[in-house]
Structure 1
């Protein structure tokens, strides 16, 4: 099985660190794509042997990110797309469906007054 994890960014936050810890224990091949800001956690993931890409999204309304991400999913022949954080969940779900791939979404940062 081959899994693509889609996350909004890889700055040094809690969800980002949780993703890194999760990948250390999964018995399947995993790659990561960040919509924006590869950040410091990307360096750690690469050191762990994970292939990390940056989609280069230019803002919250960069709708061109959806077809770019769908192409990446198709070309990578991923069996599953796992999205993390709100923006990645929105864009990643649509892209995975367009690519014909199963998607699982995890929202890490639900607060009383804000998401992510």
Structure 2
């Protein structure tokens, strides 16, 4: 029987084909997305700069440990795509990086 692990997943990408309205919304909210409060959360935390070239989300994902970080990355990417699509923000070149926090924690305890 598989167990669930907690993963920290960062989804990175670049903005692509933003229309004027999307650019204005992003720029108006840029201050809230550059703060040091960028944390891993279930709903994701978005970060980008005022140049509107690249962005990153941080997600906290619970997934089957047998599926590993691949499943956690897929789930986080789906969440990022949904958020970007709902906001009407064009994007490209998504990539994910996942860390299994249960394995990392076990490694620290084994020292």
Bigger RCO of structures 1 and 2 (CA < 8 A, at least 6 apart): 2
Give the structure with higher Rg (CA). Answer: 2
Question: One fold, TM greater than 0.5?
Answer: no
Higher strand residue share = 2
| TM value normalised by structure 1 | 0.28
